[in-house]
Structure formats: structure tokens, C-alpha cells
């Protein structure tokens, strides 16, 4: 068994089962580059402050760079027999430069070290998430542009409600993703704070230059309370929350596409390359990718709930419970990145059956609201118009005809104010010529939204 960094006051070796149980190396090895970057910046500062000799610092820094390259190439060269990534890197360093390598841990604890590594990791994860969100937004904008005039039923309660433009529907997701992007950006403010210099919990007796380390590592500020800095995992929770809301949006979009690709809807033709078949039913083409995105939302929520629960009863400051922050975080990072990537590809290859969508706007009396508005334009109150159109719809359902298939005489039996111009008013396509107020589904309004989105994507 390798010697423990804390072994001095112990007379017995750690129990082997416990050793495996408490080790985090199997997952925190992912933090090797952040850990080495942190140690490098810390070491440079120690030397600048005269806490360790310059020549030794140079040797340590060069060795750390070698270790980073080796780890990037071949994974972990020093074996798996270490407690965590911090001890592993330290041991690898000592193997290279001898005992002076131990000096890198001057004025530092693994408690502020792990907080630092995790912050660096989350910061990078945010950058990647934002890039991928933008990629999906671009796919949605392109798809909306390609289908700018396609008409479809809009739904409430999953009941056909009013005709809308497909492009308007797609751009609704663009807006959600815009907020997701902003949420990730916003949490960067609180992620990008340097905890190093807090040491175990109380700060350190060494005269560290924390601002120098912050600057070297690209942090905007340094933490103001050492006890808070080693205890705080809010920044992980914020990332997990932003990821959860993002997944909720991806899941809703996936669910809609699944629905649209059913035989019953038939609005969407999914690319074969994104579907799978059945081992027994030869006719099947299943939307697995979308179902997986919907399904993976559960684990992302779970990771958020898990860490919230882990943190809720912890006394200050560091407690080993907090090691449990990592697997859920890493899993969430992997999950959202995969989902964003695959969904963006699928969206760019999706095709619509615009005829089927248009036909669907002819069923279900989607023009009822427009007919009521028509009567209001003729001077009626909306409540009265609503009542009358309700009766017209009942009649049409009975007759198994659409509103515009009713004769003028029939329509006039409900209201004398209805005249011949009602038929052009009742064309589903005309519904999107009348809703050009900001944010509406009118063709002109949607074109403006599209232009706005394209400008945003270019900036």
C-alpha cells in the first residue's frame, strides 16, 4: 500500500476495504489538468513571494508540465493506488524532482485545492455548454428559415387551438435556449472566484499573493472568507440547475418531435440515421435518440437533487460528504454535452410533411377564434361573439363539416352580421396574416424574429 500523505499520526495501515471506499481517484482523475494548472500557479506565486527558492520552483513547474503531457497522452502513469488526483499528482511530482516536490503543498490544503480544481472544471464546462447551446440554436434557426411559411396547428392541452407558423413554434425553443445560455453565463460570475489561499479552513500563516494566482488562472476575484470558500458547492449546484432547466427544454422539444413523428400526426420525417428498428416488428422505425434525451433528463435532475441533499446538513467546513459532488457533476456535463450535440445534428436533418401539417389546420375548427374576432370587428362584444361561434362550431361538428364549408345562409342564421367576406377570413393561412404584433405568429412578425435571431447568432 502507498504511504498516505496524512500517515504520520497513524500506527496502523488503513483497512483495505475502507481504502477503496474512500478513494475518489477513479472519478476525480478527470481533474488532472485543472489540478496541475492550479499547482503550477500556486508554485509560481510561492517562488515570487520567496517562500520557495526560484530554481526549485522552476524545476517543479517544468516537472508538472511533463506530468500533464504524460497524463494527457497515456492516462495515469503513476498507477491507481492513490487516494485522489491531488495525491497522485503530488507523488508523480516527487518521483520526478525528489523531496522538494513536496513544497508545492506549502500554504495549501486539499480542501482549497479541490475547490479550485472543481471551479476551473465547471468554468470550462460552462464554456462548452454555451458553445453547444449556440450550435443547437443555429440548427433551429436554419430549420425555421427553411420552413418559414409552413402552417401547422398550435395546441393547448394538446388539443388543436389555432393555426401557427411552424417557424414560430421552432423559434419558441430558440428563446428557451437563449435563457439557458444566459443562465450558464450568469453562474460563471459566481464560479469564477479563487478559493486558493483558504488552506484547510482558516487561511494560512504564509504570506501568499492570492491576487497573483487569481490573475494567472483567469479568476475575476478571490474569495472573502476561507471557511466559506472550502465549504461552498453552490457553484456546482448552479451549474446542475442550469443543466436541469436546459434538459427540461431539450426533453420537451424531443417529446414534441416524437409526437410529430407518429403515424397519427405524421408531421415529421426523422432521418434514418437517427432511428433504430425492432428485432421483431419489421415495419418499425423508432425515435430512440429523442426518447433517450427525454429519459436522460431524469438523471440530470437526480444529480441536482442528490447534491442539494448531500449539502443540506453539513456543518462548516469541509466534510468528506462533499466528495460526492463530482460523479453527479461529471455525469451531468457528459449528458448535456451529448444531448446537445446529437439533438443539433438531428434537427439539421429533420424534414417536415408540410401538406400533412396544413391539412391538420383544416380539422378541429382552429379558425373559431378568428371567426369570433371577425364578429368583434363587426361591432359585437367578444363574449357575445364567443357564444355565437360556439353554437356555429356545435352545428359544424354535427354536420361533419368545417366552418368554411358552411353556407352563407347557414352562417347568417347564427348572426346577420356575417357576410361573404367571411370565407377568405376563415382560410387557416389568413390567421397568420393577422398576428403581426411583436411576438405573434404573423408571417411578418416571425420574419423579424428570425432576423433578430440570426443577428444574435452572428454576434
Q: Among all residues, which ones are annotated catalytic?
A: 157, 278
Identify which of residues 204 and 436 has a Cβ nearer to ligand ARG in the complex.
204
Backbone angles phi, psi at 344, to 5 degrees: -65, -40
Nearest residue to 41 via CA among 87, 97, 108, 111 = 108
Pairing of strands 159-165, 151-156: antiparallel
Question: Which of 184, 241, 260, 318 is the binder for ligand ARG (CB under 6 A)?
Answer: 318
Closer CB to ligand ARG, 320 or 416, in the complex: 320
- Please identify, using beta-carbon distances, which residue of 37 and 59 lies nearer to ligand ARG: 37
The whole-angstrom separation of Cα 366 and Cα 371 is 10
Q: Tell me whether residue 28 or residue 59 sits nearer to ligand ARG (CB atom).
A: 28
What span, in angstroms and rounded, lies between the C-alpha atoms of 103 and 276?
Answer: 56
ω into 155 cis (within 30 of 0): no
Binding mask 16-35 for ligand ARG (x = CB under 6 A): --------x---x-------
Per-residue binding string, ligand ARG, 106-145, x by CB under 6 A, is ----xx--x-------------------------------
Q: Which is nearer to ligand ARG, 111 or 297 (CB)?
A: 111
- For ligand ARG, the binding residue among 322, 357, 445, 450 (CB under 6 A) is 322
Candidate list 323, 359, 369, 412; residue touching ligand ARG; CB under 6 A:
323
Phi-psi category of residue 118: left, alpha or beta, with phi > 0 → left and psi -120 to 50 → alpha: alpha
Does position 310 interact with ligand ARG (CB under 6 A)? The reply is: no
> Measured from the CB atom, is 170 or 199 closer to ligand ARG?
199
Site for ligand ARG in 364-403 (CB under 6 A): none
Give the nearer residue to ligand ARG in terms of CB position, either 319 or 430.
319
| Rounded Cα–Cα distance for residues 304 and 325 (Å) | 10
Pairing of strands 268-269, 221-222: unpaired
**42: nearest Cα among 117, 122, 124, 126:** 117
Q: Which stretch binds ligand ARG (CB under 6 A): 122-130, 131-139, 315-323, 417-425?
A: 315-323
Q: What is the spatial distance between Cα 329 and Cα 272, in angstroms, rounded to a whole number?
A: 33
In whole angstroms, how close is the CB of 87 to ligand ARG at the nearest point? 9
Task: Judge whether 402 and 362 are in contact, CB under 8 Å.
Answer: yes
Of 367, 374, 303, 313, residue with least CA distance to 335: 303
| 445 backbone dihedrals φ, ψ, rounded to 5° | -65, -40
Q: Taking the complex as a whole, how short is the minimal distance between the CB of residue 95 and ligand ARG, in angstroms?
A: 21
Q: For residue 163, give the nearest of 440, 422, 411 by alpha carbon.
A: 440
Quote the least distance from Cβ 268 to ligand ARG, whole Å: 45
Three-state SS string across 388-438, please?
A: HHHHHHHHHHHHCCCHHHCCHHHHHCCCCCCCCCHHHHCCHHHHCCCCCCC
Q: What is the distance between the alpha carbons of residues 302 and 234, in angstroms, rounded to a whole number?
A: 16
Give the distance, in angstroms, between the CA of residue 316 and the centroid of all CA atoms in the same chain: 30
Give ∠ CA 424-425-431 in degrees, rounded to 5.
120
Q: Which of 264, 265, 271 is nearest to 290 (CA)?
A: 271
Q: Shortest Cβ distance from residue 438 to ligand ARG (Å)?
A: 49
- Tell me the closest approach of the beta carbon of residue 342 to ligand ARG, in angstroms: 30
Query: According to CB under 6 A, which residues from 192 to 251 bind ligand ARG?
Result: none
Binding residues for ligand ARG, total number by CB under 6 A = 10
Q: Is 335 in the site for ligand ARG (CB under 6 A)?
A: no
> Residue 88 or 171: which CB sits closer to ligand ARG?
88
CB of 344 to ligand ARG, least distance (A): 33
- Contact between 84 and ligand ARG (CB under 6 A)? yes
Should residue 183 be labelled a site residue for ligand ARG when binding is judged by CB under 6 A? no
CB of 354 to ligand ARG, least distance (A): 53
Q: What's the min distance (Å) between Cβ of 198 and ligand ARG?
A: 12
Q: By C-beta, is 115 or 339 nearer to ligand ARG?
A: 115
The least distance separating ligand ARG from the CB of residue 113, rounded to whole angstroms, comes to 7
Q: What CA–CA distances, in Å, run from 442 to 95, 196, 374, 375, 447?
A: 69, 54, 17, 20, 9
| Options 290-298, 308-316, 320-328, 371-379: segment touching ligand ARG (CB under 6 A) | 320-328
From the list 304, 193, 323, the residue with the least C-alpha distance to 243 is: 304
Which residues lie near ligand ARG (CB under 6 A)? 24, 28, 84, 110-111, 114, 318, 320, 322-323
Amino acid at each position: 500500500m502507498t504511504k498516505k500523505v496524512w500517515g504520520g499520526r497513524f500506527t496502523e495501515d488503513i483497512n483495505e476495504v475502507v481504502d477503496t471506499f474512500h478513494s475518489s481517484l477513479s472519478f476525480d482523475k478527470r481533474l488532472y489538468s485543472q489540478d496541475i494548472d492550479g499547482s503550477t500557479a500556486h508554485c509560481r506565486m510561492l517562488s515570487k513571494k520567496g517562500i520557495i527558492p526560484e530554481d526549485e520552483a522552476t524545476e517543479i513547474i517544468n516537472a508538472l508540465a511533463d506530468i500533464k503531457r504524460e497524463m494527457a497522452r497515456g492516462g495515469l502513469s503513476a498507477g491507481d493506488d492513490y487516494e485522489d488526483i491531488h495525491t497522485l499528482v503530488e507523488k508523480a511530482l516527487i518521483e520526478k524532482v525528489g523531496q522538494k516536490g513536496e513544497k508545492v503543498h506549502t500554504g495549501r490544503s486539499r480542501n482549497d485545492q479541490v475547490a479550485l480544481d472543481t471551479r476551473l472544471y465547471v468554468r470550462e464546462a460552462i464554456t462548452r455548454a454555451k458553445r453547444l447551446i449556440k450550435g443547437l440554436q443555429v440548427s433551429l434557426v436554419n430549420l425555421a428559415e427553411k420552413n418559414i411559411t409552413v402552417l401547422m396547428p398550435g395546441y393547448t392541452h394538446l388539443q388543436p387551438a389555432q393555426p401557427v407558423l411552424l417557424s414560430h413554434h421552432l423559434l419558441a425553443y430558440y428563446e428557451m435556449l437563449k435563457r439557458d445560455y444566459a443562465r450558464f453565463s450568469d453562474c460563471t460570475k459566481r464560479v469564477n472566484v479563487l478559493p486558493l489561499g483558504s488552506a484547510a479552513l482558516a487561511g494560512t500563516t504564509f504570506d501568499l499573493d492570492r491576487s497573483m494566482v487569481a490573475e494567472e488562472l483567469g479568476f475575476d476575484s478571490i474569495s472573502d472568507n476561507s471557511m466559506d470558500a472550502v465549504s461552498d458547492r453552490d457553484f456546482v449546484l448552479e451549474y446542475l440547475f442550469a443543466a436541469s432547466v436546459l434538459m427540461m427544454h431539450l426533453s420537451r422539444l424531443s417529446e414534441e418531435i416524437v409526437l410529430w413523428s407518429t403515424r397519427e400526426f405524421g408531421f415529421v420525417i426523422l432521418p434514418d440515421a437517427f432511428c433504430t428498428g425492432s428485432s421483431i416488428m419489421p415495419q418499425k422505425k423508432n425515435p430512440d435518440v429523442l426518447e433517450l434525451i427525454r429519459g436522460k433528463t431524469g438523471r440530470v435532475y437526480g444529480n441536482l437533487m442528490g447534491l442539494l441533499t448531500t449539502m443540506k446538513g453539513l456543518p462548516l467546513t469541509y466534510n468528506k460528504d462533499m466528495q460526492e459532488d463530482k460523479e453527479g457533476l461529471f455525469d451531468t456535463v457528459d449528458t448535456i454535452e451529448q444531448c446537445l450535440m446529437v439533438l443539433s445534428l438531428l434537427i439539421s436533418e429533420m424534414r417536415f410533411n408540410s401538406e400533412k401539417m396544413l391539412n391538420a389546420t383544416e380539422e378541429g375548427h382552429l379558425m373559431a377564434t378568428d371567426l369570433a374576432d371577425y364578429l368583434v370587428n363587426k361591432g359585437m362584444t367578444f363574449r357575445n361573439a364567443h357564444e355565437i361561434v360556439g353554437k356555429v362550431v356545435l352545428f359544424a361538428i354535427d354536420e361533419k363539416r368545417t366552418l368554411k364549408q358552411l353556407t352563407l345562409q347557414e352562417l347568417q342564421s347564427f348572426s346577420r352580421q356575417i357576410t361573404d367576406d367571411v370565407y377568405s377570413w376563415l382560410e387557416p393561412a389568413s390567421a397568420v396574416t393577422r398576428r403581426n404584433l411583436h411576438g405573434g405568429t404573423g408571417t411578418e412578425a416571425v420574419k423579424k424574429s428570425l432576423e433578430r435571431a440570426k443577428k444574435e447568432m452572428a454576434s
